[in-house]
Amino acid sequence: MKVKLFCLFCVAVISGCATSPTGQKQLLFYDRSSMAAKGEQSFEELKQNLEVSRNEAINAYAQCISQAIVSVVPEEYGYAPEEWEVVVFDSEAVNAFALPGAKIGIYTGLIELADNADQLAAVVGHEVGHVLANHSNARLSSQQMTALGLMVAGLALAENENQQAWVAGLGITSQVLLILPYGRSHESEADLIGQELMADAGFDPRQAAQLWVRMSENASSSTPELLSTHPSHDTRISDLQAAQDEYYSRYLQVVEAGQRPNCVKP
């Protein structure tokens, strides 16, 4: 039994190996259709449990930005622009998200905080970046791998009098070294994918860093980066500023071609 379970663990690791858009190694155990189904189900539940905004001007603004972003998603990802569903939730929360299955949710609190369309586009691009990079799949797969690894460890230590202490220790280690770093890595990767998408869509990529300046100014608390699933505000701003020159030239090409979206904040 122990040998079979260990073999299963090894097969799962090998078969699930994949590479993200920026070249990061990741485990993906779920196929696209199953992830899309999970995303669609979650989105429907959110629409039932949260108040959907009926403000026509705000919805038009969110649609304008979101459609511009998804229109430049490369065909290789398998998403057509018309597939994406965009919903604005009437909430003071400063938040947005995108889910597998081409779903985008934007909270009115974020729309209010972002100074302009470029800053809101930075968040929409970032969230779409999570979907393109299969980050939800990777997070679920990591959790599955952690659970399977702990099961293998538990059986291997079945005859050890310190079994419970060992398994508890493995649980803490897996959380700190696997789950949390993946979170920060995903956030940083989504930042860069989003910055590229917004530039190609005709939004100023320099505003991505400016948005996080706004975020840091409005943050009620700060969690140390070491134990956070997100990069610190300073790290995020620095990384976005370091990448913005490359994307700014692409943005200028879109502007010169007269293709900058005319999305006006209500």
- CA Rg, the chain, in Å? 21
* Separation between Cα atoms, residue 133 and residue 4, nearest integer Å: 32
Q: Active-site residue numbers?
A: 127
How many whole angstroms separate alpha carbon 256 and alpha carbon 213?
28
Q: Tell me how far CA of residue 45 lies from CA of 39, 40, 102, 176, in angstroms.
A: 10, 9, 15, 31
Q: Kind of pairing, strands 85-89 and 103-107?
A: parallel
DSSP string, 95-121: -EEEETTTEEEEEHHHHHHSSSHHHHH
Q: Are 207 and 122 in contact (CB under 8 A)?
A: yes
Residues 250, 205: Cα–Cα separation, whole Å: 9
CB atoms within 10 A of CB 55: 14
